[in-house]
Structure 1
Amino acid sequence: MNAVIPGPARRTPGTGEDLSVKGPWRIHATDARFSAVADTVRALLEPHLGDRLLPPDAFDSAASALTLTPDHTPEARRRRPSVGVSPAGLTEPADESYRLTVAEYGITCRAATPEGVFRAAVTALQMLTTSVATIPCQELSDAPRFAWRGLMLDPARGWLTAEEVRRLVDLAALYKLNVLHLHLTDNEGWRLQLPGFPELTAPRSADTPREHYTTEEYRALQQYAAERFITLVPEIDLPGHCAALREAMPQLPAAPAPQGLADRYPFVPPLDLTDPRTRETVAAVLDDVCRLTDGPFVHIGGDEAIGMTADSFVVAVRELRSLVRTSGKRPLAWQESSRAGIAPDDIAQYWVDVPMMDLPDTEEELATRPDLLAAGHTLEFTKALKAFFAPTDHDLARVIEGGGRILLSPQSHLYLDRPYAPDVVPGHQNETVARLGFRAYRPRDVRHTATWDPATHHIPDEHIAGVEATLFGESIESFADLTLLLLPRMASVAHTAWSGNRPDWEDHRTRLAHHARLWENLGLTYMASSEIPWA
């Protein structure tokens, strides 16, 4: 069984004895360009092979080899992703195509670039980990469809230590994701130390520190991710979602509110970017963030700016974009930013429209939705939600008409904080799973995530930036909570983001069954859905 996820595009059976996975194993780079990749692959393999992995300088004539080598065959050709924006800021996305050959003596990973040979090597890692005893001789070849394949995590509301983020970087790399988007600020917390603004992360008191990443930790996380060909994208969510900023700087005035709503709405007042002091403060904050960030993108938020007029929102988004560009980075924002205008260089992250929210229209329909009732929804509240989110139905058209790009993160399938459907949760996980996820979302099974097809949004390829799953942290109390929501669904998103198509469910569930061993080797909790015939 070939249990690789994402499933490779092409597989050719080979001849000869099956390859034993028992080892010992040595990692060998035949080209100096791949030496650093070999070191990273060794670090990723250690939790899975343990003593079966030889030290770097050791040699054993009986050892099987994982060989990283350039592809010099006549038929080799550079194959870049055909759709999307390079998260590394390159004019053209990197060539990530690879060939992998399994023979009696070992596994050979061939590619034209370090990125490509790394993708081949993590494919080999999956084969070694998910195979019980042997791997049949074969050749695989593959290349990604989408250039941007991301995962958003939310340490602002569900705190993650730097070590936990590194563990998730490793997991993302094993499934060929190449972006880690960190939602670093929200009402609940400001998680990045900035040299010019120590008050943002200063302890509330001697006994109540604010959890955050120091500048040194942030730089180290970026380097760690880059070694795994993952670009870190920080998000500073403005002009709304700014309670943590306001707590540190209470003197900043509120943005103009819609008529009749001033001092009445139960939300933190968004920032007023027309106020000179506010603009100066935000400019300095974003400049610090841009200086600390190695990658080309900084996410400015722009979502759910409840309690400000449409005009003040437009001014804020335009100002935030301009400030990021002035500081040398490219801005990225949630889809609501499209209402401030879109230019060809703009990227909007698409997450919602009213039909996707799946809200009832009548009291009778509401009565059949225990998920909404448990969240305290009334029919009046759902109608108010629909009215507030009504403009989202036109955001995609705005982006396309303006010539911009869309990063696909539809809440319906790619928001991994959606609760699991109770009927697929095993009994021993019922209690934990029942408290996880955003309660206003209809619970769904694992198959639901795997059914998502990017083509259903009917977006021309030239307007797609890529694909990104998100996992917001409102319900997360521990690292195990996070991975329980993430796995096994992240693997399904990774398949679609790489291949461009949803997986065949019967084949995919069989592949997933073998990945429990991989997650267990990494000490990661996963939801053992009854949909999957766990090996």
Structure 2
Amino acid sequence: MVASDPPDEPGRGGSVIPAPVRQRTTEGVCRTGRPWRIRAGDPSLDGTAGVLAPHLRTGAGADSGEIVLALDDVPLKPGAIGVQPSADPDECYRLTVEPDRITCAARTPQGAFRAGVTALHLLAETPETACRVIDDAPRYAWRGLMIDPARHFLALDDLRRLIDLAALYKLNVLHLHLTDNEGWRLHIATRPALTAGTPHYTADEYTDLQEYAAARHVTVVPEIDLPGHSAAALRAYPDLGTLPRPSWYPVDAPFPAPLDPADPHTRAFIVDVLAETARLTAGAFVHFGGDEALGADEASFTEAVRLAREALRVAGKRPLGWQESSRAGIAPGDIAQFWVDVPMMDLPQTQEELDARPDLLAAGHTLARTKALTRFFAPADGDLDRIVRGGGRVLLSPQSHLYLDRPYDPAIVPPDQAEEGARLGFAYRPRDVRHAASWDPSSYGVPPEQIAGIEATLFAEDFQGFDDHTALLLPRLPGVAEAAWSPSPPSWEEYRGRLARQSVLWRDRGLAALRSTEIDWH
């Protein structure tokens, strides 16, 4: 981004997450606890005003404050790093807080919405907040959250609440993991058995969800995970061809045999489901998976990835896959989602090491399985370098920091949430909230021009309900947003002060959260 004038003050301090690029305080204070009304200064902003209004304590009396949305030029210019998920790259805004008015100015409705969200954060400061001018724009263009309704189906209203949460932290992509071994959640008209008798989204429901997200400037990116993670497809269509398992892989291992792209029925199936998903998707991107295709030889895997990419390009979409897809070849501009940045789950290689990991034993792991998984994930060490050398774009989702289904460190779980804290999370090493907030996307050595963006993931293998989603996302998701939007990482002490104030926003929205003892919550 390029500023027309130098920054007045660092953008940190107060309650706003992610921290803006810069802000300067001005004379006076604004009383936040009174009623507020919102007004669109241009007809194109009526929808934005309608989205923000329900989150205000509204009123029109003489004592009420006014939020004004305006289309106007602002000092910062678009220049975010990465791949734009929507057609409009301009999210820049200027927010001006006066004693009785907050003005949200931007060149685009998207920028005005981001400013309005900042206003919601400021109004959570009670009983008053300092008058100020904020100039802001994102560091990275793609700022995503992946949700897993394939494993734990979510009602549309719950997905809408997660879209609202993503928008509250200026995330702009909802990646929906719609297919896996446990279920297939998007109705495909030509393949009705995929969703017969199981919870799923109809075409109309999927369209409605995308429209709801678009009103909050969030792009929905669907994922159809192929050729691995295919058990749900095989239950529906057992005549699909699969590849043989390698002899060294245990029969009780969690991954089914991947689909065989050499089988004519399977080829037609892959093209069909991807083409229909593309037809139903308003955005420019469709994710084809490509991860954990255990048992696929190099030639078969390469053909499956080639077939998926081609099917999506023919359908007018830009394909992306998990980092393993790069092993099938990577061309300039191809997007690969990087996730294996540490030895996979630090898996034990001796029985003594396994006996010291009650989390893995509880998940049913045997030594044969952990050894097989280690062998399977060994090639991941070369994926990131391959993507960069091939001119690809890296969507950063490092497991170490952005896999938010990671358990919490028991040391930071309050006593009244001990049972919940012990239950939540997959078989990764537990971490505290500070760990989740203490990383910089630039630390992976990917040239800035090859970073596609940042995306947190929340896989749902063992979830029991909607509250499990938000209890793992909160309080960690705001730290992801900070890394994706703000120009540089914060200090922990400064950040934890802003994070403490977020609990007001979560309570207002009825969202469950883990009240880490690292934070002095408001």
**Common fold by TM > 0.5:** yes
**Residue identity matched to 1:12:** R
Cα distance in 2 between the residues matched to 1:263 and 1:193: 31
* Contact 1:256–1:272 (Cα < 8 Å) also in 2: no
Is residue 241 of structure 1 aligned with residue 229 of structure 2? Answer: yes
Deviation per CA, 1:215-234: give whole Å up to 9, x if none.
11100000000000000000
Alpha-carbon distance change, 105 to 423 in structure 1, aligned in 2, over 3 angstroms: same
Note the C-alpha offset of 1:344. Answer: 1.4
Q: What amino acid is the match of 2:82?
A: G
Which of 97, 111, 120 is residue 106 of structure 2 equivalent to?
111
Residue 15 of structure 2 is aligned to residue 3 of structure 1: yes
Q: Which of 449, 461, 468 is equivalent to 1:462?
A: 449
Partner of 1:206: none
Secondary structure of residue in 1 paired with 2:213 = helix
What is the percentage of aligned positions where both structures have the same residue?
A: 55
Matched position secondary structure for 1:19? strand
CA distance 1:377–1:228, change in 2 (3 Å) = same
Kindly provide the CA deviation profile for residues 218-275 of structure 1, in whole angstroms up to 9, marking residues without a partner as x: 0000000000000000000010101111111111121254467698966422111111
Shift of 1:22: 2.6
Task: For 1:508, give the aligned amino acid.
Answer: Y
C-alpha change, 1:134 and 1:354, in structure 2 (3 Å) is closer
* Structure 2 CA distance for aligned equivalents of residues 197 and 86 of structure 1: 32
| 1:470 alignment partner, SS class | strand
Task: Supply the distance in 2 between the matched residues of 1:503 and 1:368 (Cα, whole angstroms).
Answer: 35
Asked if 1:23 is matched to 2:17, the reply is no
Q: CA 1:266–1:158 in 2, change beyond 3 Å: closer, same or farther?
A: closer
Q: 2:438 matched to 1:482?
A: no
Q: Tell me, what secondary structure is at the counterpart of 2:27?
A: coil
**Preserved CA contact (<8 Å) 2:323 2:383:** yes
- Opposite residue 19 of structure 2, the aligned amino acid is G
1:379-413 deviation digits (Å, cap 9, x = unpaired): 55433322211110000111111111010001111
- Going from structure 1 to structure 2, the CA distance change for 1:118 and 1:367 (only over 3 Å counts) comes to same
Residue 86 of structure 1 corresponds to 84
SS at structure 2 position matched to 1:532: coil
Query: Taking structure 1 as the reference length, what is the TM-score of the superposition?
Result: 0.91
The alignment status of 1:136 with 2:130, answered yes or no, reads: yes
In structure 1, what is the Cα distance between the partners aligned to 2:82 and 2:431? 28
CA distances 1:43-80 after superposition (whole Å, capped 9, x unpaired): 3x24xx2xxx13xxxx544421101112346xx35233
Q: CA deviation at 1:470?
A: 0.2
Secondary structure at 1:135 match in 2: strand
Secondary structure of the structure 2 residue equivalent to 1:389: helix
Aligned pairs (5 A) from 1:90-489: 90=87, 94-129=89-124, 131-203=125-197, 210-258=198-246, 267-355=255-343, 357-360=345-348, 366=354, 368-377=356-365, 381-439=369-427, 441-489=428-476
SS of equivalent residue, structure 1 residue 185: coil
Greater mean deviation of Cα atoms: 155-164 or 190-199: 190-199
CA distance in structure 2 between the partners assigned to 1:425 and 1:71 by the alignment = 46
Secondary structure, in 3 states, of the residue corresponding to 1:15? strand
Partner SS for 1:136: strand
Residue 494 in structure 1 maps to residue 481 in structure 2: yes
1:14 partner SS: strand
Q: Which amino acid aligns with 1:232?
A: V
Cα displacement (A) at 1:360: 4.6
| Aligned counterparts of 1:319 and 1:416: Cα–Cα separation in 2 | 31
SS in 1 for 2:461: coil
User: Aligned to 1:99, what secondary structure does the other structure show?
Assistant: strand
Classify the secondary structure of the residue corresponding to 2:498. Answer: helix
Structure 1 residue runs of 5 or longer lacking an equivalent are 204-209
- Structure-2 separation of matches of 1:34 and 1:96: 14
- More moved, 193-202 vs 356-365: 356-365
Is contact 1:78–1:112 with CA below 8 Å preserved after alignment?
no
Aligned to 1:35: 46
1:495-514 counterparts in 2 under 5 A?
495-514=482-501
SS of the aligned residue for 2:479 comes to helix
Q: What do the CA deviations read for 1:12-53 (whole angstroms, capped 9, x no partner)?
A: 01102x11113221111222232221122213x24xx2xxx1
1:277 to partner: Cα distance: 1.3
Distance 2:358 2:317 in 1: 44
Aligned positions, number: 510
Q: Secondary structure at the match of 1:137?
A: strand
Residue pair 1:80, 1:96 contacting (<8 A) in 2 also: no
Contact 1:406 1:466 in 2 (8 A): yes
State TM-score, norm by structure 2.
0.93
**Native 8 Å contact 1:256 1:309 kept in 2:** no
What do residues 337-372 of structure 1 show as CA deviations (whole Å, max 9, x unaligned)? Answer: 000000113100001045363345666655554433
Cα pair distance change 1:246/1:362, threshold 3 Å: closer
Query: In structure 2, the residue corresponding to 1:342 is in which secondary structure?
Result: coil
User: Quick check: 1:153–1:183 contact (8 Å CA) kept in 2?
Assistant: yes
Secondary structure at 1:298 match in 2: strand
Distance change in 2, residues 1:515/1:77 (3 Å): closer
Matches of 1:377 and 1:183 in 2, distance apart?
24
